[in-house]
Structure 1
Amino acid sequence: MQLDQTHVAIRVRTLSEIGDLALVLLHRYPTLLLIGFFWGALPWAIANGLLLYWIPITESQYGLDDPEARWQTTRYITWMALLVFLQTPAAGVITTIYLGQAVFESSPSWKTAVADARKQLGRWIRFLGLRRLAIPAMVIAGIRLFQPWDALFDVTIPIVFFLAAIVIRASRPFLPEMILLERCPTRSKNPNEITLSKRARTLHRPSGSDVGGRWIVSGFTLSVIFAGLFYSLVWLRGIATGYWNIGLVTLMVLYPLALWTVGGLSVVVRMIAYLDTRIRLEGWDVELAVRAEAMRQFGDEIEPVVGQQSVVSSSGSQDNARSNSKTSVAPAGGAT
């Protein structure tokens, strides 16, 4: 494995170039969404159905055009969007690991990505499921099963969850990559070891305003993409069936499908933004070039000269990188 000949060119990118590269990666690796993300999202989607599908099913018995049904439909739409928003980082665990492999390997393995995700199950559930409020929000939705609409639980609490999630993500936007790819320990008795909190400070604080601005623009763009995708699915259904009214298929299939698809795209965009941030702050492209030359000259790696952690160690382990140092890979720019 030649670290300076990656399949994703390691260079600084603008936000528009990050979006363009995300589409290129989805074109080159269509399984990112079709297999990886939807496989990771499937348990969450099933849980959401069990928690929320009773609302449209119950209201459809009296007609979804009824004024009372509109409040319940709004309740369903709000909670479904909130749950998918909170669950997306956890649902994208396998995809994130796979992308870490795809940077360096011509044929990344889903089997390896799934096995890696299982090994770190407890860790990412704790950070991405509990601390990022996905599971707590599901508990609230479960408590409200078959309960009538209530302003506190169906307006105030979703807003509080949403605002809290924004604050939490803004403080550590690349937490999934630090957990899954860099594998920073939560605590360490060794004062020289880079823990998760130390890594978060060095990576997030210097780039806070830039990353925050990008996050806002990306969120707005993804919202527009979601709206276009959802109405395109509704239009296709209308053309195919001649039925244009909002029904159970629209609410229970097309709406969640559009949400999860955009969620999968956001995982890819976040991963590329993470690489770009490392290049800007730590000169990661220079580090890879130096380490690659050391491997060619001495047959082994040297300690990183820039940055604290390396994606290489997580996308296959450093020992695996050494054992595959003679493997032929395509030149950089395979996905530019």
Structure 2
Amino acid sequence: MQLDQTHVAVRVRTLTEIGDLALVLLHRYPSMLLIGFLLGAWPWMIANALLLSWIPLTEAQYGLDDSEATWELIRYGTWMALLVFLQTPAAGVVTTIYLGQAVFEQKPSWRSALKISRQQFWRWFYCLGIRRLAIPVMILVALRLFQPYDTFLDITLPIIIFFVALVVRAGRPFLPEMILLEMCPLRSKNANEITLGRRARALHRPAGSDVGSRWIAVAMTLTVIFAGLFYSLVWVRGIATGYWNFGLVTLLVLYPLALWVVGGLSVVVRMIAYLDTRIRLEGWDVELAVRAEALRQFGEETGVPKVASQRPVESVPPPIPLDNAAIGESP
């Protein structure tokens, strides 16, 4: 492997260029959303349906147009959006690993990505599923099954949880990459080993304001994309069927689908932003060039195979390649 010949050329980028490269990656690897993200998201999708689908199904029996049904549907929409927001990092673990492989491999393997995600299951499930509140909130929603509407419990409380999660995630948005790609241990008896907490502080504190502001800007942009996508799906359904009201298909299928598609896009954008942050702070271009030259000079003696160079995927030349920590090595 030639470490300075990446298939996904990553360099220092502005936020708009990060979005542009995300679209380039989705064009080159469309299976990231069609297959990869679905592999990680389908258990969460089923769980959400079991927890919340009873609300629109119950209201549909009495009609979805009265005022009482309106508040119940707001309840459904609020909890569904919160759950998808909290679950997206955990649902995107396979896509994150696949993207890490795609940086250096022309044909990354879903089988390999799934294998790594299974090996790291308890680590990412604890950090992304429990500590990031996805599982606790699902338990809270389960306790509200078939309970009557309550303004505080079904509207105010989800909004409070959302803002708490927003602040936590904006402070450390790259936790999935540190767990899955850098494989930092959660804790260690070795004082010199870089644990997840130390790595998070080292990566996020020096660029805290920039990372946080970028995350908020991306979140706002993705919200606009969600609104456009959702109403586009409703429009297509209306054109195809002639039915324009918000029925069960819209509530149970189109609304969650739009949320999950935008969630999958957020995983791709976050991964590119992570790579960009690391090259800004750690100078991967210099390190990678030195390591690549060492491999070319001593590769045969060290048993490192050499491969033919590949043309990188790039939307804005010239590229500056990144370190192979993106495919699973510790920094």
Q: Deviations over 1:119-155 (max 9, x none)?
A: 0111111000000000011001000000010122102
In the other structure, the counterpart of 1:238 is 238
- Partner letter of residue 4 of structure 1? D
**Kindly tell me: are residues 60 and 246 of structure 1, through their superposed partners in 2, closer, same or farther at Cα, counting changes over 3 Å?**
same
Tell me how far apart the structure 2 counterparts of residues 189 and 301 of structure 1 sit (CA, whole Å). Answer: 34
Q: Deviations over 1:197-226 (max 9, x none)?
A: 111111000000001111111011100100
- SS of the aligned residue for 1:191 comes to coil
Moved over 4 A (4+): none
Q: Within 5 Å, which residues of 2 pair with 1:127-206?
A: 127-206=127-206
For the 8 Å contact 2:85–2:263, the answer to whether it is kept is yes
Deviation of 1:335 after TM superposition, in Å, equals 6.0
In the other structure, the counterpart of 1:292 is 292
In the other structure, the counterpart of 1:310 is none
- Partner letter of residue 274 of structure 2? Y
Q: 1:326 aligned to 2:306?
A: yes
In the other structure, the counterpart of 2:119 is 119
- SS of the aligned residue for 1:65 comes to coil
Q: 1:226 aligned to 2:226?
A: yes
In the other structure, the counterpart of 1:66 is 66
Deviation of 1:39 after TM superposition, in Å, equals 1.6
TM-score normalised by L of structure 2? 0.93
The worse-fitting range, judged by mean Cα deviation, of 204-213 and 148-157 is 148-157
- SS of the aligned residue for 1:182 comes to coil
**Kindly tell me: are residues 16 and 335 of structure 1, through their superposed partners in 2, closer, same or farther at Cα, counting changes over 3 Å?**
closer
In the other structure, the counterpart of 2:216 is 216
- SS of the aligned residue for 2:117 comes to helix
In the other structure, the counterpart of 1:12 is 12
Deviation of 1:232 after TM superposition, in Å, equals 0.4
Q: Within 5 Å, which residues of 2 pair with 1:311-322?
A: none
In the other structure, the counterpart of 2:281 is 281
Deviation of 1:300 after TM superposition, in Å, equals 7.7
Tell me how far apart the structure 1 counterparts of residues 125 and 103 of structure 2 sit (CA, whole Å). Answer: 25
- Partner letter of residue 170 of structure 2? A
Tell me how far apart the structure 2 counterparts of residues 73 and 124 of structure 1 sit (CA, whole Å). Answer: 32
CA RMSD of aligned residues (A): 1.4
**Kindly tell me: are residues 279 and 69 of structure 1, through their superposed partners in 2, closer, same or farther at Cα, counting changes over 3 Å?**
same
- Partner letter of residue 179 of structure 1? I
Tell me how far apart the structure 2 counterparts of residues 229 and 20 of structure 1 sit (CA, whole Å). Answer: 18
In the other structure, the counterpart of 1:37 is 37
For the 8 Å contact 2:170–2:216, the answer to whether it is kept is no
In the other structure, the counterpart of 1:103 is 103
In the other structure, the counterpart of 1:249 is 249
Deviation of 1:186 after TM superposition, in Å, equals 1.3
The worse-fitting range, judged by mean Cα deviation, of 40-49 and 285-294 is 285-294
Tell me how far apart the structure 1 counterparts of residues 207 and 35 of structure 2 sit (CA, whole Å). Answer: 33
Q: How many residues align?
A: 316
For the 8 Å contact 2:299–2:306, the answer to whether it is kept is no
For the 8 Å contact 2:90–2:128, the answer to whether it is kept is yes
For the 8 Å contact 1:185–1:195, the answer to whether it is kept is yes
- Partner letter of residue 259 of structure 1? L
Unaligned 5+ runs, structure 1 = 303-321
Deviation of 1:326 after TM superposition, in Å, equals 1.7
- SS of the aligned residue for 2:224 comes to helix
- Partner letter of residue 126 of structure 2? R
- Partner letter of residue 84 of structure 2? V
